Amino acid sequence: MIRDITIGQYYPAKSILHRLDPRTKLVSTLLYLVSLFLFKSISGYLVATVFLMAIIRMSKVPFAYIVRGLKPIIMLLMITVLFNLFLTRDGDVLFHAWIFTITEGGLVTAVYMAIRLIYLIIGSSLMTFTTTPNELTDGIEELLGPLNKIHVPVHEIAMIMSIALRFIPILLEETDKIMKAQIARGADLESGNMIQKAKSMIPILVPLFVSAFRRANDLAMAMEARCYRGGEGRTKMKPLHYQKRDHMAYIVVIVYVIAVVVIGKYVPLHIWVF
Amino acid sequence: MDMVQTEKLVYEYEKRDEEGNVIGMSRAIDEVDIDVKEGQFIAILGHNGSGKSTLAKHINAILVPTEGTMWVNGRNTSDPEELWNVRQSAGMVFQNPDNQIIGTVVEEDVGFGPENLGVPTDEIWQRVEDSLKAVGMIEYRHHSPNKLSGGQKQRVAIAGVVAMEPKCIVLDEPTAMLDPVGRKEVLKTVKKLREKKQVTVILITHYMEEVVDADKVYVMDHGRVVMEGTPREVFSRVDELKNYRLDVPQVTILAHELKKRGLQIPDGILRKEELVEVLCQLN
């Protein structure tokens, strides 16, 4: 099941998007996410769709691979759509049975909401598809840099993130090992209802936690032995530098945001069938 | 100048019962005097719980002595002002290869030490390349450490220490978690490194085969140094070594047993070839 989740995974390819500075991608993604909530009309959606399609094309990430990333959020999407569909009371009633009422407004909101959520997820997963975890943490560290002045431990947060990323595969492997060890001792992890299954996880989680703490202790010692003393006075092996393409990317994104807002507002393309 | 020198080094820790109350003090290291000259290859041997790893952690100032003093490259490790200088002069490689690699890419991990030292970016790249070449891992520079074998991970860890350009490298049981192939790999790397960079090496281990090339061997037991000398001197006292629960190399035992049976064989045979030579010259 864990293997199915493609959100947040890096997809190695050689595209202009992959080469962009992680800060550019982070800021652009944020702008894009905000832009999705700045319009209401179909014309806005059209602009956003064209933009998103262009970006997907540029990223060289296969479209099918991106769609697969949507699978884990289908449930969430359904719930949102259903709530919007049945709870919005606006305009003509299209359907009524028992306590369920669908109105024209509800249908429109539900469809718009679904599109918005899908675009939201595709947009942000495009960022993680094209950015390695290391670049991402470097980018976050740089962008949050100013917060250092109000004593937010930015460097430490970035360090925690990158160490977590390094240890995910190690801990997964370890979980597998412990599970096998417990099964060999007669542990039953498969049968029973939800509560029994949850209970049977205890003999796996306890050793996993103990070992994780031991690893953390070892790692802290190894880091200190290599003269780690926080972010102060530290140089970077791979410092971030904006290139020409990053400036271009910023311009493109800003033009898009302006376009989506202006067109969304002044080109009222309300071709709605109802 | 001595690279590492200790004078009556004592390290005590509190013994606690299950509720965490102190029930007494325990001496992990008991009045140890060692001294290591620059460029030497020193081995510290000992069984589990002999205090050898505790001693190793003193060289890097991860632990500081309860009593006595330890000098590394002429600096007192108990002095908080000297902490980072001590750590830079004595690099440390630990036992578990997984728990000492910080980077998610090999080259970034090797760069971690120099980054901490505040080395300029261009020089970091130079150092990373040099040290990865020195341990023979340059072709893996863009790989994820998770995909490497134990021996390869340990070589990356050694490169990470070498990149900090220490005068002395302490290896704390670097081969304990490796298979025989990985062990050979790591030892060969250490040997090559000594030839290329002339660093002082302190190898802590309980495998006696690993120390035959050492300039000097210390044997520890219950926190004390119980034997010291060249490998030949130490290995010639086979019965004593067995007392300290150390596995004497097979050749050495064979030579020792043959001698006991009356053959004219010198003490402290370390290598197979040596024994063959000696046996061929008999009668």
- Interchain contact, A222 vs B98, CB within 8 Å: no
CB contact under 8 A, A218 and B146: no
Domain count, chain A: 1
Q: Which residues pair with B229 in a beta bridge?
A: B217
Report which of A133, A129, A141 is spatially closest to residue A240, judged by C-alpha positions: A141
Chain B residue with the nearest C-alpha to that of A215: B99
Question: Can you tell me the mean pLDDT for B88-92?
Answer: 91
Lowest mean pLDDT, pick from A153-157, A210-214, B160-164: A153-157
- Select from B87, B101, B118 the Cβ nearest to the Cβ of A225: B87
Structure confidence at residue A7 as a pLDDT band (50, 70, 90) = low
ipTM of the complex: 0.86
CA pair distance B224, B244, nearest whole angstrom: 12
B98: closest chain A residue by CA = A170
pLDDT digits (tens, 9 = 90+) for B258-268: 888 888 888 77
Full DSSP string of chain A: -GGG--TT-------HHHHS-HHHHHHHHHHHHHHTTS--SHHHHHHHHHHHHHHHHHHT--HHHHHHTTGGGHHHHHHHHHHHHHH---SSEEEEETTEEEEHHHHHHHHHHHHHHHHHHHHHHHHHHHS-HHHHHHHHHHHHGGGGGGT--HHHHHHHHHHHHHHHHHHHHHHHHHHHHHHHTT---SSS-HHHHHHHTHHHHHHHHHHHHHHHHHHHHHHHHTT---STT---SS-----HHHHHHHHHHHHHHHHHHHHHHH--------
Q: CB under 8 Å to B266, separation ≥6 — which residues?
A: B278
**SS3 call for B18:** coil
Distance CA B203, CA B191 (A): 11
Domain layout of chain B by residue ranges: 2-231
Closest chain A residue to the Cα of B59, Cα to Cα: A225
Mean pLDDT across A15-44: 89
Torsion angle (degrees, nearest 10) of CA B201, B207, B213, B214:
50
CATH of domain B2-231: 3.40.50.300
Q: Are residues B127 and A243 in contact, defined by beta-carbon separation less than 8 angstroms?
A: no
How confident is the model at residue A6, as a pLDDT?
53
Q: Over chain A, what is the mean pLDDT?
A: 84
Instruction: Examine the pLDDT at A269 and tell me if it is beyond 80.
Output: no
Note whether residue A273 is domain-resident.
no
- Per-residue pLDDT at A2: 46
Residue B248: which pLDDT band, with cuts at 50, 70 and 90? confident
Q: Is A186 on the interface with B (CB under 8 A)?
A: no
How far is B139 from B19, CA to CA, in rounded Å? 52
Mean pLDDT, residues B38-61 taken together: 89
Q: pLDDT tens digits, residue range B116-142? A: 999 999 999 999 999 999 999 999 988
Percent of chain A at pLDDT > 90 equals 21
Q: What is the mean pLDDT of chain B?
A: 88
Higher-scoring residue by pLDDT: B279, A92: B279
pLDDT tens digits, residue range A200-209? 888 889 999 9
Phi then psi for B5, rounded to 5 degrees?
-145, 135
**Mean pLDDT, to the nearest integer, of B148-177?**
91
User: What per-residue confidence (pLDDT) applies to A111?
Assistant: 87
Q: Is A133 on the interface with B (CB under 8 A)?
A: yes
Across the interface, do A234 and B116 touch by the CB < 8 Å criterion? yes
For the entire predicted model, the pTM comes to 0.81
Contact status, residue B51 vs residue B223, Cβ threshold 8 Å: yes
Question: Does B108 contact A at CB distance below 8 Å?
Answer: yes
What is the distance between the alpha carbons of residues B161 and A226, in angstroms, rounded to a whole number?
7
Is residue A177 within 8 angstroms of chain B, CB to CB? no
More confident residue, A111 or B18: A111
Distance between A13 CA and the closest CA of chain B, angstroms: 15
Question: Is residue B244 within 8 angstroms of chain A, CB to CB?
Answer: no
Q: What is the pLDDT of residue A200?
A: 83
The answer to whether residue A130 is domain-embedded is yes
Q: Is the pLDDT of residue A274 over 80?
A: no
B268 versus A52: the higher-pLDDT residue is: A52
Q: CB–CB of A261/A39 below 8 Å?
A: yes
**pLDDT on residue A273:** 42
Residue A213 has pLDDT above 90, yes or no: yes
Q: What is the pLDDT of residue A215?
A: 92
The mean pLDDT value for B42-52 works out to: 88
pLDDT digits (tens, 9 = 90+) for A153-193: 888 888 888 888 788 888 888 888 998 998 898 888 777 78
The alpha-carbon gap from A23 to the nearest alpha carbon of chain B, in Å, equals 19
Look at residue A11 and tell me if it is in a domain. Answer: yes
pLDDT category, B1, cuts 50, 70, 90? low
pLDDT value, residue B162 = 92
% of chain B at pLDDT higher than 70: 99
Instruction: Provide the pLDDT confidence category of residue B155 given band limits of 50, 70 and 90.
Output: very high
Give the pLDDT of residue A3. 47
**Beta carbons of A170 and B164 less than 8 Å apart:** no
Averaged over B186-193, what is the pLDDT? 90
pLDDT in tens, B58-73: 998 888 898 888 889 8
Which of B282, B280, B257 has the alpha carbon at shortest distance from B267? B257
Optimal mutation site among A226, A228, A235, A241, interface B, most CBs of chain B within 10 A: A226
Task: Provide the residue range defining the domain that includes A102.
Answer: 2-266
B147 in contact with chain A, both atoms CB, cutoff 8 A: no
Of A163, A226, A237, the CB nearest to B164: A226
- Closest-CA distance, A218 to chain B, in angstroms, reads 6
Q: What is the pLDDT of residue B251?
A: 86
